[in-house]
Structure 1
Amino acid sequence: MDFMAELAELAMASRLRRLSDTYWQAVTAIYRESGLDFEVKWATVFILIVRQGPISVMDIAERLGVTHPGVIQVVNELVQRGLVTSEKSGKDSRKRLLSLSPDGEAMVPKLQPLWDAFVAVNRQMLTNQTHNLLQSLQEMEEQLAEKPFVNRVRDHLNQSNHE
């Protein structure tokens, strides 16, 4: 038996990481096989710019629920790669708005069939499951948004110490 599966709840973060790594490697392989110079870590930011642009770094961070520095790192790579442009906002000169560059726009039709395939395969795998992983992840994220894991563990430890 898989030792991490045996550890069950104790290894949840490790199992999520392992699942993520499995996807990351597979998607990277598909991009490379398709001859595309595109990184998995760029995808969510890039897709948001495709669907929403022009958009600010702060708005991207809020929409994705990730850190501002994390978004800046990805955006800098996308700008350096020439897929995204960054321009000052007409309304607020302190704010920079991100849009697709001509190279970025040219990349979308090459990426879209791959993204469609990713969605189709994931849907197929999800329908073959007893429980819906996406729904379970959403529920976990909502619970953690209400009360972070660290606070839950501290409360549990405090309760255990008082019993």
Structure 2
Amino acid sequence: MVKDLEILRELSLAEQLGRLSRLWRTVADHELAPLGLTHPRWTALWKLSRLGDRLSQKTLAEALEIELPSLMRTLGQLEEQGLIERHCCHQDKRARIVSLTAQGKALLDQIEDRIMVVRRELLGGISKQELAKFEEIITRISTNAIDKLEQQSEERE
């Protein structure tokens, strides 16, 4: 019985982490909606900016942890908005390179300002020490999950 309660608590933690992620995303999406951006669009722009701009579509999809066909739709929308450009790669003609336009870079400044406001509001009342410890714990859980996935992958081979 005690072990069952421990399992339920662990499931509750996973549920809380999932809920936290969804809530954070919803708040950020609401803040960025006036800029004409959906979650897939602003996260693609954000990641492209953070990884150095000129990336292959495949690399960007991997960094966003989504399938390439899903990203292709989003990139098409961003291209229509004039926020990115896609060009053939000189080394591999099959690959497409994604770059931010001047308009995309300007919009990123607005995105960053709004995301920092959201971050400050959501982390209000949490000390730097508490936040550092929480980030350390989240990193440890993520590392454990990655290790487990790699182990499972090896077992299937």
How far residue 55 of structure 1 moved from its aligned partner, in angstroms, is 0.5
Q: Check if 1:85 corresponds to 2:81.
A: no
Q: Which protein has greater RCO, CA pairs closer than 8 Å, 6+ apart? A: 2
Show structure 1 runs of 5+ residues with no match.
1-6, 152-163
Residue deviations 1:26-56 (CA, integer Å, cap 9, x gap): 1122223xx3111233333212322311101
**Distance verdict in 2 for CA 1:26–1:77, change over 3 Å:** same
Amino acid at match of 2:40: K
The count of residues paired between Structure 1 and Structure 2 equals: 145
TM-score by length of 1: 0.69
1:124-143 paired onto structure 2 within 5 Å? 124=124, 126-127=126-127, 129=130, 132-143=133-144
Matched residue, 1:154: none
1:113-128 → structure 2 map (5 Å cutoff): 113-121=113-121, 124=124, 126-127=126-127
Q: Does the 8 A contact of 1:54 with 1:98 survive in 2?
A: yes
Percent same amino acid at aligned positions? 19
Q: Are 2:54 and 1:54 equivalent residues in the alignment?
A: yes
Q: TM-score, normalised by structure 2?
A: 0.71
Q: Which residue of 1 aligns with 2:23?
A: 22
2:83 is matched by which residue type in structure 1?
A: L
Quote the Cα distance in structure 2 between the aligned partners of 1:125 and 1:53: 34
Q: Which runs of 5+ in 2 are unaligned?
A: 1-7, 153-157
Post-superposition offset of 1:59: 1.9
